[in-house]
Structure 1
């Protein structure tokens, strides 16, 4: 089983980011995607405490691209970012305005920006917005755990862990 965490819009909320990383390390996820708006390089020090690898894309609030890239050891990319892992194809954005145009050969389309959870399906393709890890704008802080074998998606409210 391959468990992948999907987070977005952490916006320097260090408390929620630390809580999320601790939880993910405890359940032993295999990989993590961050869909943008990490914001400041110091937030990556917490993300780097993950016991697994990760990839991220820059969001519209990420300002210090060089330092973010340096602290992440080159794991943050300009969107759209294509990545293949566990025999599955992923494409990651921050803003999801082009989601409906993504070819159906991509298994998972991941994005953030709206701070609202969205789980949708286009034939066999899953489209996932994990909401906002920071909890700003919507007053709920969420992230997603995806099982790539069963396509089961768990939406996790940070206040419940």
Structure 2
């Protein structure tokens, strides 16, 4: 299964549209956003995905009610545990507890730091896709994960 990973889009409409277009073109099966979308008009772009998605609130997300409405109730307070394709996914915004998560969870995704990161721990994969916005980051990134091969590809928005 191919999974798209996004975080910290911070209302960067241009990058969000590029990212969603790319994820649609490569045929991802599911998308997770690790928070800091910020405004309801930005989350509406995620509704253009050809697959389902889940999002957690970040520390900069302010309009919780309208974000829930615009996402059709696919945004949740972290930590958010989601089971899909016989795998367990834990979605966070801040990753300070990521290394403490029990190995019964297959994948742990978080954002907040704006730094892309991947780490394998006892069969568990922990990933931060970086900041889609590119703000306070080396570059604007997101990631695509192959859950069978445990391969994570970080994509720089400026290269697509």
Distance 1:111 1:35 in 2: 5
Distance 1:100 1:145 in 2: 21
1:98-113 pair list within 5 angstroms: 98-113=97-112
| TM-score normalised to structure 1 length | 0.98
2:149: which partner in 1?
150
Is 1:90 the counterpart of 2:101? The answer is no
Ranges in structure 1 where 5+ consecutive residues have no aligned partner: none
Shift of 1:102: 0.5
Count of aligned positions: 160
Distance 1:15 1:130 in 2: 18
- Secondary structure at the aligned position of 1:144 is classed as strand
Distance 2:154 2:140 in 1: 10
- Secondary structure at the aligned position of 1:42 is classed as helix
Shift of 1:139: 3.9
Is 1:61 the counterpart of 2:60? The answer is yes
1:46: which partner in 2?
45
Q: Which ranges of 4 or more aligned residues in structure 1 deviate by more than 2 Å?
A: none
Is 1:123 the counterpart of 2:122? The answer is yes
Shift of 1:27: 1.0
| TM-score normalised to structure 2 length | 0.98
Distance 1:112 1:42 in 2: 20
1:134: which partner in 2?
133
1:80: which partner in 2?
79
Shift of 1:89: 0.5
